[in-house]
Amino acid sequence: MTKPAKYKRVLLKLSGESLMGPDAFGINRDTIMQITAQVKEVVEMGVEVAIVIGGGNIFRGMAQSAKGMERATADYMGMMATVMNALALKEAFETQQIKARVQSALSMQQVAETYARPKAIQYLEEGKVVIFAAGTGNPFFTTDTAASLRGVEMNCDIMLKATNVDGVYTADPKTNPEARRYQQITFDEAISQNLKVMDATAFALCREQKLNIVVFGIFKPGALKKVIMGEDEGTLVHV
Sequence ranges of the binding site for ATP? 13-16, 56, 60, 163-164, 169, 172
CA distances to 7, 23, 86, 111 from 225, in Å: 11, 26, 22, 31
Short-list 90, 94, 102, CA closest to 19: 90
Which residues line the annotated binding site? Answer: 13-16, 55-56, 60, 75, 136-143, 163-164, 169, 172
What's the longest Cα–Cα distance across the chain?
Answer: 59
Give the number of other Cβ atoms within 10 Å of residue 129's Cβ.
Answer: 24
In the chain, the amino acid numbered 82 is: T
What is the C-alpha to C-alpha distance for residues 221 and 212, in angstroms, rounded to an integer? Answer: 23
d(Cα 206, Cα 221) in Å, to the nearest integer?
27
Known binding residues for UMP? 55, 75, 136-143
Counted residue by residue, the chain has a size of 239
CB-based contacts of 42: which residues, under 8 Å, 6+ apart? 5, 10, 49, 224, 225, 228
**135 with 141: CB under 8 angstroms?**
yes
